Amino acid sequence: MKKDSKIYVAGHRGMVGSAIVRRLQREECVNIIIRTSKELDLRNQREVENFFQEIRPEYVFLAAAKVGGILANNTYRAEFLYDNLMIQSNVIHCAYKYGVKKLLFLGSSCIYPKMSPQPMKEEYLLSGYLESTNEPYAIAKITGIKMCEAYRAQYGCHFVSAMPTNLYGPNDNYDLNHSHVLPALLRKFYEAKINNQPNVVVWGTGKPRRELMHVDDLADASLFLMQHYDGEKFVNMGTGKDISIRELAELIKKIVCYKGELFFDTSKPDGTPRKLLDLSYLYSLGWRHKIELEEGLIHTYEDFLKNQAGKYF
Ligand code: GDP
């Protein structure tokens, strides 16, 4: 990939896509191609075909997806399957048809079985039942991995897949019904502090553990793979450390300076008990994360105060 290569970032308005664009800009890439979903509906086969035929991108970061937290995944089960299958099938197939030099497909650590041994190695894919709350999303993402493998095997395409752990950072979704745990708790603790509420509701038992990676680290790892990796095997991406939801809530409480109590609403689902990634393969390729959770959280809270908090008051 050169500075003047035509690089298409699909999903540039999302947290992941926008971080990849920022990272490419830092690399002084001058030919970054972006389209809003209004300009190009990636679920629409004809629109995607026309776009690839006309623009002929050389490199593709496939970060466009319908995403959300545990409640959104469980509620919009049809959309999580349909939108994601359509987006990735259209983009991957057109990348093959119109000669894209390399494509990076981004998935998620929820592809692994619910009761997978920990930490989870890439080889554990399809070795057991999935967690039901996000099964549709996981099935779509597993299909994406298999498409990249199949197009590589049959047509020699340079399509690689990466499976990041739970992500957070600027541009996250703070909608309480749709977001992931970290942005939801940042917002809830902030609102509780401003409104002097005596407690903050945390979903589930607080016992599940999650590995959280700052999206700027993910963008850096994505660029690294685009430049240095061309293997069939997909690559786990994470920090190698996890934390319980209770510990995460305590940490956010400290950063936001909230003085009240935590209340665990056990009528809400816990989801997967643990999903810590094994990063031996990523490390063997020569990449490691740089942003630790507390530091990343402080930056994310600053970004929240600057760009989000005003929307809710
Ligand atoms: P998951 O990693 O796919 O399960 O997605 P989430 O980030 O949405 O949820 C992770 C864990 O955090 C689950 O055990 C949730 O029940 C728990 N959790 C606690 N409070 C919240 C909250 O306010 N919102 C969300 N989305 N999850 C929460």
Q: Does the residue 309 lie in any domain? A: no
Report whether pLDDT(96) > 90: yes
Q: Does the residue 179 lie in any domain? A: no
Looking at residue 37, its pLDDT comes to 96
Give per-residue pLDDT as tens, 3-21: 999 999 999 999 999 999 9
In this structure, what CATH number is given to the domain that contains residue 146? 3.40.50.720
**Distance from the alpha carbon of residue 28 to the mean position of ligand 1, in angstroms:** 37
Q: Which whole number is the average pLDDT over 24-28?
A: 97
Query: From atom 3 of ligand 1, which residue's Cα is the shortest distance away?
Result: 70
Report whether pLDDT(145) > 70: yes
Substitution site in 66, 116, 203 for ligand 1 pocket (most atoms within 8 Å of beta carbon): 203
Report whether pLDDT(149) > 90: yes
Exposed/middle/buried for 139, CB within 10 Å: 0-12, 13-18, 19+? middle
Instruction: For ligand 1, say whether the CB of 67 is within 6 Å of any of its atoms.
Output: no
Q: Does the residue 313 lie in any domain? A: no
Instruction: For ligand 1, say whether the CB of 202 is within 6 Å of any of its atoms.
Output: yes
**Distance from the alpha carbon of residue 88 to the mean position of ligand 1, in angstroms:** 25
Give all strands (DSSP E) within 184-240, no chain letters. Answer: 199-203, 209-210, 212-214, 235-237
Instruction: For ligand 1, say whether the CB of 179 is within 6 Å of any of its atoms.
Output: yes
Confirm whether pTM is higher than 0.85.
yes
The sign of the torsion formed by the CA atoms of 73, 77, 79, 84 equals positive
Looking at residue 310, its pLDDT comes to 82
Query: From atom 22 of ligand 1, which residue's Cα is the shortest distance away?
Result: 181
Q: Does the residue 284 lie in any domain? A: yes
- Mean pLDDT, rounded, of the chain: 97
Question: Where in the sequence is the domain holding 147, given as residue range(s)?
Answer: 7-171+212-240+275-291
Instruction: For ligand 1, say whether the CB of 184 is within 6 Å of any of its atoms.
Output: yes
Question: Considering its fold, how many domains does the chain have in total?
Answer: 1
Q: Does the residue 200 lie in any domain? A: no
CA dist., res. 189 & res. 254, Å (int): 10
Q: Does the residue 310 lie in any domain? A: no
Give per-residue pLDDT as tens, 208-248: 999 999 999 999 999 999 999 999 999 999 999 999 999 99
Looking at residue 313, its pLDDT comes to 63
Exposed/middle/buried for 282, CB within 10 Å: 0-12, 13-18, 19+? buried
Instruction: For ligand 1, say whether the CB of 204 is within 6 Å of any of its atoms.
Output: yes
Q: Does the residue 59 lie in any domain? A: yes
Q: Does the residue 23 lie in any domain? A: yes
**Distance from the alpha carbon of residue 299 to the mean position of ligand 1, in angstroms:** 21
